[in-house]
A and B are shown apart, each in its own frame.
Chain A
Amino acid sequence: QKEVEQNSGPLSVPEGAIASLNCTYSDRVSQSFFWYRQYSGKSPELIMSIYSNGDKEDGRFTAQLNKASQYVSLLIRDSQPSDSATYLCAVGGSGGYNKLIFGAGTRLAVHP
């Protein structure tokens, strides 16, 4: 079992719709959770962090965390073509040090 799992996609949504990206992780003692966006040929860019169960909103982005289910999600409201990218889920904070592990990423395509 991979430590951090994501559906590779592609996830195709129309412009203006809500994109929902999901991630599960295996280490129950993980403490910190992140979403990164990576455009083709570029480096990963941190867009959201979440540490407690529940929702965290930042502009059009909402991160959701459920530690009991070991599940993290990212919602993108009013999706734009510029949101088309690969979204990487990262999990860290177990074992006393922040070993930051990434999922394989979900490719999102927003079509006009």
Chain B
Amino acid sequence: DAGVIQSPRHEVTEMGQEVTLRCKPISGHDYLFWYRQTMMRGLELLIYFNNNVPIDDSGMPEDRFSAKMPNASFSTLKIQPSEPRDSAVYFCASSFSGTNGAFFGQGTRLTVV
């Protein structure tokens, strides 16, 4: 298996623009997590899905953030409109049954100028 695949690897955008981050989890995994990592706040859980259903989105910072998982092999995290304080590395991770640890993608480094 190729592991968790995220795209793009790097994204530079202007404030106010819409940003869409994409994730393909490991085949067969039923949990998918979106995290954001910054120096100040560490690795924060934004939202997670179980069997494509959002379970907990309490970590989503504002209504500008939304996430979807239309099927078992694809998820998106959208920020609209983007702001400079959204600059961070965004990680997607997937897990089987939720009890075996999660495996991370390579992350998307987002810079909003």
- Residues in chain A within 8 A of chain B (CB atoms): 31-32, 34, 42-46, 49, 51, 88, 90, 92-93, 97-105
Hey, which chain A residues are within 8 Å of B43, CB to CB?
Answer: 44, 88, 102, 104-105
Find out whether the CB atom of A102 lies under 8 angstroms from the CB atom of B45: yes
The chain A residue with its CB closest to the CB of B105 is A43
30 sampled A-B residue pairs with Cβ under 8 A: A32-B99, A32-B101, A34-B101, A34-B102, A42-B106, A43-B104, A43-B105, A44-B91, A45-B104, A46-B101, A46-B102, A46-B103, A49-B100, A90-B102, A92-B98, A97-B50, A97-B55, A97-B98, A98-B31, A99-B56, A100-B33, A100-B45, A100-B48, A100-B95, A100-B98, A100-B102, A101-B45, A102-B35, A102-B43, A104-B43
Report the nearest A residue to B92, measured CB to CB: A43
Contacts of A92 in B (CB 8 A): 98-99
Known: A92-B98, A100-B102. A105 touches B42 (CB 8 A): yes
B interface residue count range (under 10 / 10 to 19 / 20 to 34 / 35 or more): 20 to 34
B102 with A104: CB separation less than 8 A? no
Which residue of the partner chain B has the closest CB to A105? B42
Produce 1/0 per residue, B76-89, CB < 8 A to A.
Answer: 00000000000000
Chain B residues in contact with chain A, CB under 8 A? Answer: 31, 33, 35, 42-43, 45, 48, 50, 55-56, 91, 93, 95, 97-107
- Given A99-B45, A102-B43, check contact A93 B99 (CB 8 Å): yes
Having A90-B101, A97-B98, one finds 15 other A-B pairs with CB under 8 Å, namely A32-B99, A43-B104, A43-B106, A44-B43, A49-B100, A88-B43, A92-B99, A98-B31, A98-B95, A98-B97, A99-B45, A99-B48, A102-B42, A102-B45, A104-B43
